[in-house]
Amino acid sequence: MSQQQTQEHILRALSSAIGELKDPRVPLIVTVERIHLAKDLSKAKVYLSTLGNMAQLLEALESAKGHLQRELAGRVQMRKTPLLEFVDASVTF
């Protein structure tokens, strides 16, 4: 599987997993804009946008990082699950 395909699989899996979170700090509308995967697949930078409070969203996702990594491991077949880093997509453009 190419790196581009892996990024797309991770994007879909994380979008779904984030949508299933029950944390009240996570707004109803959260979009995973894109994923930047390190060449060695050890880290994944996840670019997000939302209509809600971005600071609260990032805080909630940081708290749920372990859960999201386990969900990702179960949904995407990879040798090693990348470490997730969540960032605001609007700041990084």
Residue 64 structural domain: 3-92
Q: What is the pLDDT of residue 84?
A: 97
pLDDT digits (tens, 9 = 90+) for 76-87: 988 889 999 999
**Coil vs helix vs strand at 74:** helix
Pairing of strands 83-88, 43-50: parallel
Q: Nearest CA to 46 among 76, 16, 7, 19?
A: 7
- How far is residue 33's CA from residue 24's CA, in Å, rounded to a whole number? 21
24-37 in b/e form (b: 16+ CB < 10 A) is ebbeeebebeebeb
Domain count, the chain: 1
Would you write out the chain's pLDDT as a tens digit for each of its 93 residues? 788 889 999 999 999 999 999 999 999 999 999 999 999 999 999 999 999 899 999 999 999 999 999 999 999 988 889 999 999 998 855
Q: What is the CATH number of the domain that holds 30?
A: 3.30.300.20
Q: C-alpha distances in angstroms, 23 versus 27, 46, 53, 58?
A: 9, 19, 13, 12
